[in-house]
Amino acid sequence: MAHSRATGGPAPLVPRRFVLLDGRGPEDVVADARGRVLTGLEDGRIVRVDGFGDPERTRSRVIAETGGRPLGLELLPDDGLLVCDARRGLLRIGLDDGIVRVLADTVAGEPLRFCSNVVALSDGTIYFTVSSRSHPLEQWIGDLVEHTGTGRLLRLAPGEKEPEVLLEGLQFANGLAPAADESFLVVAETGERRLTRYWLAGPKQGRRETFVDDLPGQPDNLWRAPDGPIWVALPGPRVAALELLHRRGPALRHTAARVAVRAPFRPPGTAGVIAVDDEGRVLHHLERRRARFRMVTSACEADGRLVLGSIWERGIAVCDLPAPTD
């Protein structure tokens, strides 16, 4: 089983600017070809931010409302936007008219809930994740504590109305990104601190294997830079007590999860991202302790900068891109 391990000390993650939005929780950020950033807010609005690199030119505009809670986003070449909505399922939004269409809201007769991240490949096939079948988005911490392993990877073929389950048993399936040649997908398993590879072509087609393990934090959304690496957001650091709990029995984990979902939540003060290549090598590891911008759930490149999203904050953060590695 091929895999790489995340190693090396982090470089500083230094936000240069914060762009406040009229709403909370820009969980995923994606950039279009013109360097504009799109994100989804807690109240269901999809917002596009223009000119974020210049405080005098920054503007945000609502382009659609999903009626649910948008999480992962994926831009399409035909001016469409795919949205994983934690309450409504897999959606498609026309960026020109703001019309929201449901692509899938059930799988095998079961309502699609807690859809997390989505990618579309060049042949029109859509792949997306479901983080948990046991806990809704509002109780996400319960799934991480209970370690349910009910995450899924699904595929929606062109012209089909019902998605197909490709993988089950994932530990809080989250971000998705394709290889540059689309021969495999990288899936973030937040609950295992690892990236998993699922082969789409070649002799290993249909198989999964560890891609990068022992990450320095829990991975969330993934975003593939054009002609560049895969950016991996790390909303929280490694928690040794949680990993110890995962080795205990299911009854204890279930009890602990019931306590966790009722306890007040405060995000950790550590913000981090890494970038990996298609060989699983870690190219960059950026981190900031006692960060003002917490719980980084996404990262993308836009207009020569690194832009961060957060399910916790009321805006996005703009950072310098690290220097290219040899």
Close Cβ partners of 60 (under 8 Å, ≥ 6 residues apart): 19, 21, 22, 47, 48, 49, 50
CA distance linking residue 138 with residue 261, whole number of Å: 8
Q: What is the pLDDT along the chain (326 residues), one digit of tens a residue?
A: 445 555 568 899 989 999 999 999 999 999 998 899 999 999 999 999 998 777 778 899 999 999 999 999 999 998 899 999 999 999 999 999 999 999 999 998 899 999 999 999 999 999 999 999 999 999 999 999 999 999 999 999 998 989 999 999 999 999 999 999 999 999 999 999 999 999 999 999 999 999 999 999 999 999 998 888 999 999 988 888 888 889 899 999 999 889 988 998 888 888 899 999 999 999 999 999 888 899 999 999 998 999 999 999 999 999 999 987 76
Contact between 210 and 196 under an 8 Å Cβ cutoff? The reply is yes
